[in-house]
Amino acid sequence: TSSGACPGVVGRSYRHSALRPNRNNNTFLNTDLENQFKAFREKAADAMPGSDWTPFEKNSSLPPERADIVIVGGGVVGWSIAYWLKQKEMIRDGVRVLVVERDPTYSQASTVLSAGGIRQQFSLPENIHLSMASADFMRNINEHLSVLNDDPVDLQFNHSGYLFLASEKVAHIMEENYSTQRYAGAKVSLLSPTQLKEKCPWINTDGVVLASYGLENEGWFDPWMLLNAFRRKAISMGVYQCFGEVTGFSYTTNTMTTAEGDKVDFRRIKYANVQMPNSLEYQPVECAIVVNAAGALSGKVAEMMGIGLGPKDTISGIPLPVEPRKRFIYVVHCPNGPGLDTPFLVDYSGVYFRREGLGGNYIAGMSPEEEEEPETNNLEVDHQFFQNIWPHLAHRVPAFECLKVKSAWAGFYDYNTFDQNGIVGMHPLVNNMFFATGFSGHGLQHSPAIGRAMAELILDGGFKTLDLSAFSFKRIMTKEPILERNIV
């Protein structure tokens, strides 16, 4: 055994770009102070998501010296895992959980910069079941995440559903997906162009052969509300939080020799090194388990343990295939656009839009082609990219021929380049690092069910409610992708 160590304008419309109340570890703010922070919300919303401005003091306290489980990443997936770990503990403080988040303002967090959608219309049964379980959780959210003396959680859930449109070229895929969704128990209906026009008189059905509409458990909600609800509840249950950055790990190594004579190194993390913001100070946190829920940066966290840095023809040479992909969301105003019952529409061109509040406002976006992926070293918006979106919008909804772009913002997908699906479970050579990442745009909507599954895997030794073994790292090792055909 040996030991070692590895070291445009961003839009601001309708996004909550600053962290609400700050808490020092388990100190819980009282209701009066909470209300004072709420008063900052309007001012905070005017701050650009990419800026460092925040009306809240940053937590400069060091993390605890020891934790049973360190969760790297304080987005909605990380906080969901923290909540479910505490929910499953047998005695109070039986599991000491620390969540480390590098962005105290959450101004660049993927969670709060997303479109906030939830849908059951996936092609894989695992993703459909994750959506159904998460939707059930959100429907009964105050049974799970209410906190004594705090206001009830209001996700501002809009149940208008998702509407997917298919051309003749892909209609057969929509029919196959529909069969899978119905078999899994999802409430989805197929619409002919005539039925589609009856439901949505404002739509141009040119080129549409088939449409698929979610009848329940679909729509959109406020991402910040879900993140903060998980966070507040988890902290009230005893979870520690720290604003800092995990910069490396200390670990032990056991070397074994295979029957063929090859040497294989098995590593076990002993300490996570947490660098404090704007400081040279760092705290080594002794831990038994590390959960890599760092989203778009989870690939870099994995590299800190040498994952992907070994010889290419070995397991240690296989990287965690997750990288940031920048996506733009544009806020447009169209006073004569579709009304209050407008669904979250996804055109076969790849363009999507949904209503945003009242008063003729909508958000729209589209994923770029692979060769057009933008740089990911900042969150600046390419305003010219909207010119690729507008023709499709105007073609599908003639009223959108006259619209005005009010603002825009950018956010990162934790994009799994291997098969665009989540990676859930333990790494085979680092037996106390668990992954919960690579969800490629649907981590937010699946976060309640992902958190529960991870807690089961860690504390029970296996999945109990939903079998997510198909999402393990093993498929990357064996080069067997499980492709999701409904990526937006």
Task: Using the predicted structure, report yes or no on whether residue 204 has a pLDDT greater than 90.
Answer: yes
The region of weakest confidence among 107-116, 136-145, 461-470 is 107-116
Counted residue by residue, the chain has a size of: 488
Query: How much is the CA Rg of the chain, to the nearest whole Å?
Result: 23
Which alpha helices (H) appear in 404-486, and where do they start and end?
443-455, 474-477
The region of weakest confidence among 54-63, 149-158, 227-236, 399-408 is 54-63
- Give the pLDDT score at 260: 84
Task: Using the predicted structure, report yes or no on whether residue 4 has a pLDDT greater than 90.
Answer: no
Cα 426 → chain centroid:
19
Q: Could you read off the pLDDT of 347-370 as tens digits, one per residue?
A: 999 999 999 998 899 999 999 999
Task: Using the predicted structure, report yes or no on whether residue 56 has a pLDDT greater than 60.
Answer: no
Residue 116: closest CA among 409, 350, 433: 409
| Vertex 142 angle, CA 290 and 291, to 5° | 5
Average pLDDT over residues 122-137: 97
Task: Using the predicted structure, report yes or no on whether residue 407 has a pLDDT greater than 90.
Answer: yes
433: exposed, middle or buried (C-beta count within 10 Å: 0-12, 13-18, 19+)?
Answer: buried
Cα–Cα distance between 402 and 413 in angstroms, integer? 30
**Using 50, 70 and 90 to split pLDDT, how confident is the model at 419?**
very high
198: exposed, middle or buried (C-beta count within 10 Å: 0-12, 13-18, 19+)?
Answer: exposed
Q: Could you read off the pLDDT of 374-391 as tens digits, one per residue?
A: 999 999 999 999 999 999
- Give the pLDDT score at 279: 81
Residue 41 neighbours by CB under 8 Å, 6+ apart: 16, 20
Residue 38 neighbours by CB under 8 Å, 6+ apart: 20
Task: Using the predicted structure, report yes or no on whether residue 308 has a pLDDT greater than 50.
Answer: yes
Structure tokens at 224: 């910040």
**304 HSE (CA, 13 A, CB side):** 25
Number of C-beta neighbours around residue 487 at 10 A: 16
Task: Using the predicted structure, report yes or no on whether residue 33 has a pLDDT greater than 50.
Answer: no
Average pLDDT over residues 207-235: 97
Cα 334 → chain centroid:
29
Which residue is it, tokens 């009010």?
A: 406
Question: Highest mean pLDDT range out of 9-13, 51-55, 260-264?
Answer: 260-264
Task: Using the predicted structure, report yes or no on whether residue 309 has a pLDDT greater than 50.
Answer: yes
315 secondary structure, DSSP code: G
Three-state DSSP class for 26?
A: coil
Cα–Cα distance between 169 and 454 in angstroms, integer? 38
- Give the pLDDT score at 177: 97
Q: Could you read off the pLDDT of 275-298 as tens digits, one per residue?
A: 988 888 889 999 999 999 999 999
pTM above 0.75, yes or no: yes
- CB-CB contact of 364 with 352 (8 Å): yes
- Give the pLDDT score at 27: 38
Task: Using the predicted structure, report yes or no on whether residue 171 has a pLDDT greater than 60.
Answer: yes
Residue 478: closest CA among 317, 320, 315, 323: 315
- CB-CB contact of 239 with 99 (8 Å): yes
109: exposed, middle or buried (C-beta count within 10 Å: 0-12, 13-18, 19+)?
Answer: buried
Task: Using the predicted structure, report yes or no on whether residue 21 has a pLDDT greater than 70.
Answer: no
Residue 370 neighbours by CB under 8 Å, 6+ apart: none
- Give the pLDDT score at 59: 42
Residue 355: closest CA among 392, 310, 389, 400: 400
Cα–Cα distance between 208 and 193 in angstroms, integer? 6
Q: What is the mean pLDDT of the chain?
A: 89
- Give the pLDDT score at 44: 47
Average pLDDT over residues 313-326: 96
Per DSSP (E only), the strands in 338-397 are 344-346, 352-355, 361-365
What percent of the chain shows pLDDT beyond 90? 81
**Using 50, 70 and 90 to split pLDDT, how confident is the model at 62?**
confident
**Using 50, 70 and 90 to split pLDDT, how confident is the model at 11?**
very low
The region of weakest confidence among 54-63, 122-131, 264-273, 298-307 is 54-63
Per DSSP (E only), the strands in 102-206 are 117-118, 162-166, 188-191
**Using 50, 70 and 90 to split pLDDT, how confident is the model at 92?**
confident
- Give the pLDDT score at 8: 32
Cα–Cα distance between 256 and 254 in angstroms, integer? 7
The region of weakest confidence among 12-16, 225-229, 353-357, 471-475 is 12-16
Which residue is it, tokens 């729509």?
A: 219
Task: Using the predicted structure, report yes or no on whether residue 22 has a pLDDT greater than 70.
Answer: no
- CB-CB contact of 292 with 434 (8 Å): yes
Which residue is it, tokens 């023709």?
A: 391
Average pLDDT over residues 444-463: 98
Structure tokens at 445: 């909507």
- Helices 76-88 and 443-455: crossing angle, nearest 10°? 30
**Using 50, 70 and 90 to split pLDDT, how confident is the model at 31?**
very low
What percent of the chain shows pLDDT beyond 70? 88
Task: Using the predicted structure, report yes or no on whether residue 408 has a pLDDT greater than 80.
Answer: yes
